[in-house]
Structure 1
């Protein structure tokens, strides 16, 4: 159990937030009057009161809202809770969607202290159920509200697509097939063929959002701009080569050029990352045979299932 120590809002992004006694939370939107509200996954930001006090003890003179946080709550070490955790405060339900964030510009706190705790200790949430929260209200973990579906993200790599010169067909198809297979698709991205940009997004989706399955499409060929495998390998913690091998083997049934695909499959933390070919036809062919088998592997990776329980000759 925790206690809301402070509520802070601002009408503009990139500035410190101001303390308010109470705030109205709107479902699927965020806090009324706060600039970070909107139709996205970072509607509300939360920071542990204990982490702020530790920072103050090192000489930082910070007031509520200094880090851009909406809610300061005592009693929870948010950083060590899994994405998907649901908090209940009165009528309001908040689902944690991301841990930490990338710091693009160093704030005044960083300039003075040499660090800022929000990028590493702050978490973000979306509003599942609206209502009003007052300073001093109790906050609880709500174990009854838990979405059992694995989460997924799809990334299309295409210079022309990112520039608006070509319609992305593979990304929407991946989302459709994943949804049909029972996944909750939490993000769809269309990126240029940039290794660094893809690395950053894979790290964010794996570490910050703890996405179960991340699928990429495109950028696996021989062109100098095809850098999807290099970006994927750069962020990998462990290799999972059997999936990429199976994709090439299955694709060889349709075209001999499948041998030219350089796609890889890896694990980062508790996320599985798989490179798929770029064409919608190949995406469909691959996912129709991959998705029924991936669920067990992801469950093992997440710790919700044991290793294969099939016959002795059918080991993982």
Structure 2
């Protein structure tokens, strides 16, 4: 994860013109910045440019102000053009997805005509708005190029402070070792309404690609995590739950008592893990391989599964 500071937020009502700095701007989900000419249901809703690149350009003698390159966000501290497509930017409640790096300059802007070069075609990046909110100068902008994971522990005793939550650090350690970026944790009691509300908040706010829950999957009358998950789920992924149970049966036959479910809401995959640190790690280990492909499909970063070879390839 990389961190930068938004130095300027700029908009303009016309295309092909310099943008003007604003005190604050509302980013609208799947639309763009309110009042900006580049709003729309396309992939280039919000443009970003590295502040450091602009400063270097100014040192060449160019007199350029914020927004002069047509950028919406001027960001200090992150070399934006080096990030991979699919990178997620988070600032406050706003979530942006990197969709394009650079662009072709067809006619040459005023800066190009004056300086003989322009940095926006090579250094500018473009994003779509996954979740809206207010953007303003001075805000922290985080960039995630890895899959993001959030861990939610359901435990009455843990929530009351009478038991130490050991499952969350164990699961976090494994997830990070597997290449995931930890974006947050939460500890709640075994309350169906509270658990489902927290899951919906994480999913609807695009706060994480993967939401791991621990605890509340057994037969105790207070075990309600699967029910809370299904209350807000849009699609179930039963194969992951089946794989966890079957893979752990050789460790203990009590694995058959797990009621864990796996499901999706928006672009987040929810996986229920047991409350025992040992069992939680064993269950997560069992699904790490297919989990990666599933998340790539869900996020849109991988659009096709394996295909059958062509006739020519079969005969070669």
Q: CA RMSD in A?
A: 3.5
Please tell me whether residue 213 in structure 1 is matched to residue 210 in structure 2.
Answer: yes
The change in CA–CA distance for 1:259 and 1:80 in structure 2 (over 3 A counts) is farther
The change in CA–CA distance for 1:211 and 1:123 in structure 2 (over 3 A counts) is farther
TM-score normalised by L of structure 2: 0.60
Which residue pairs with 1:173 in the alignment?
A: 170
Which residue pairs with 1:254 in the alignment?
A: 251
**Deviation digits for residues 178-199 of structure 1, max 9, x if unmatched?**
1111111101111111111111
**Where in structure 1 are there 5+ consecutive unaligned residues?**
8-45, 52-71, 101-119, 130-145
Q: CA–CA distance in 1 between the matches of 2:260 and 2:184?
A: 21
Runs of 4+ in structure 1 deviating by more than 4 angstroms, as ranges, are: 76-82, 84-91, 97-100, 123-126
Please tell me whether residue 298 in structure 1 is matched to residue 315 in structure 2.
Answer: no
Please tell me whether residue 245 in structure 1 is matched to residue 242 in structure 2.
Answer: yes
The change in CA–CA distance for 1:127 and 1:265 in structure 2 (over 3 A counts) is same
Paired residues for 1:1-150 under 5 Å: 2=11, 3-7=20-24, 47-48=26-27, 74-75=35-36, 89-90=73-74, 92=76, 95-97=89-91, 99=93, 122-123=133-134, 127-128=140-141, 147-150=144-147
Shift in Å at residue 292 of structure 1?
2.2
Contact 1:47 1:123 in 2 (8 A): yes
Q: CA–CA distance in 2 between the matches of 1:78 and 1:210?
A: 23
Q: CA–CA distance in 1 between the matches of 2:204 and 2:40?
A: 14
Contact 1:87 1:93 in 2 (8 A): no
**Deviation digits for residues 140-188 of structure 1, max 9, x if unmatched?**
xxxxxx5320111001110110111111111011111111111111011
Q: CA–CA distance in 1 between the matches of 2:289 and 2:248?
A: 17
Q: CA–CA distance in 1 between the matches of 2:92 and 2:245?
A: 33
The change in CA–CA distance for 1:4 and 1:300 in structure 2 (over 3 A counts) is same
**Where in structure 2 are there 5+ consecutive unaligned residues?**
1-9, 12-19, 51-72, 79-88, 95-130, 310-316
Q: CA–CA distance in 1 between the matches of 2:40 and 2:282?
A: 41
Shift in Å at residue 288 of structure 1?
1.9
The change in CA–CA distance for 1:311 and 1:73 in structure 2 (over 3 A counts) is closer
Q: CA–CA distance in 2 between the matches of 1:285 and 1:159?
A: 23
